[in-house]
């Protein structure tokens, strides 16, 4: 059984802006909103609202205290449909079509929307694990040759070790794979005294 939502509990959850920034750092700003909405619709990310206002076509309106926002409410929404102000204000208006639960369409406005921090952290851990598991792309032959041309000039007349050359190449191309074998091949045909 879940505990009732309180103002104190609400304060520990992430605002849309906070969640967006965290996910944008990991996945890029162009993907962050889409990831959040997919998580909301799929029930991976739970959302709560500090206050909500429910209205129906008959003119009635009800103000409610903190409430969990069901995943089905986010269905049909994408990061292109939701106003940009949602990420800064934490407020959103959703139009709910009639269905088995509601005989008439209604509209609900959620204010001070927050996201469950554990769900956002889980997505960040997943991104980190995928990034670590993804092999780095190899540096191109052309770029490696350009590095080597500069390296030869810098170490003219000096006996450079394979380990030093590899360290230099890896430093030149962060996030790219520079294999020891490729550096070894470049070094094999070069004698520092030849320059």
- pLDDT for 7-54, tens place per residue? 677 788 999 999 999 998 888 888 888 889 889 988 899 999 988 888
Regarding whether 15 and 106 lie in a shared domain, the answer is yes
CA–CA separation, 90 and 1 (whole Å) = 27
Q: Does 1 map to a domain?
A: no
Q: What percent of the chain has pLDDT over 90?
A: 22
Regarding whether 146 and 50 lie in a shared domain, the answer is no
Specify the number of domains making up the chain. 2
Regarding whether 149 and 64 lie in a shared domain, the answer is no
Lowest mean per-residue pLDDT among 96-100, 143-147, 182-186: 96-100
CA–CA separation, 149 and 134 (whole Å) = 30
Q: What pTM, to 2 d.p., does this model score?
A: 0.60
CB 10 within 8 A of CB 27: no
């Amino acid at each position: 059984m879940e505990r009732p939502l309180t103002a104190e509990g609400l304060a520990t959850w992430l605002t849309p802006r906070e969640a967006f920034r965290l996910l944008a750092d990991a996945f890029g700003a162009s993907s962050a909103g889409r990831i959040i909405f997919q998580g909301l619709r799929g029930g991976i990310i739970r959302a709560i609202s500090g206050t909500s206002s429910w209205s129906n076509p008959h003119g009635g309106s009800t103000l409610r205290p903190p409430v969990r926002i069901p995943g089905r409410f986010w269905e049909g929404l994408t990061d292109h449909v939701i106003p940009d102000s949602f990420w800064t204000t934490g407020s959103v208006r959703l139009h709910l079509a009639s269905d088995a639960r509601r005989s008439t369409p209604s509209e609900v406005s959620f204010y001070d929307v927050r996201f469950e921090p554990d769900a956002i952290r889980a997505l960040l851990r997943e991104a980190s694990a995928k990034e670590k598991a993804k092999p780095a792309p190899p540096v191109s032959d052309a770029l490696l040759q350009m590095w080597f041309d500069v390296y030869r000039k810098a170490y003219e007349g000096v006996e450079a070790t394979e380990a030093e050359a590899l360290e230099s190449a890896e430093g030149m191309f962060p996030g790219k794979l520079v294999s020891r074998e490729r550096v070894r091949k470049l070094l094999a045909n070069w004698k520092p005294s030849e320059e």
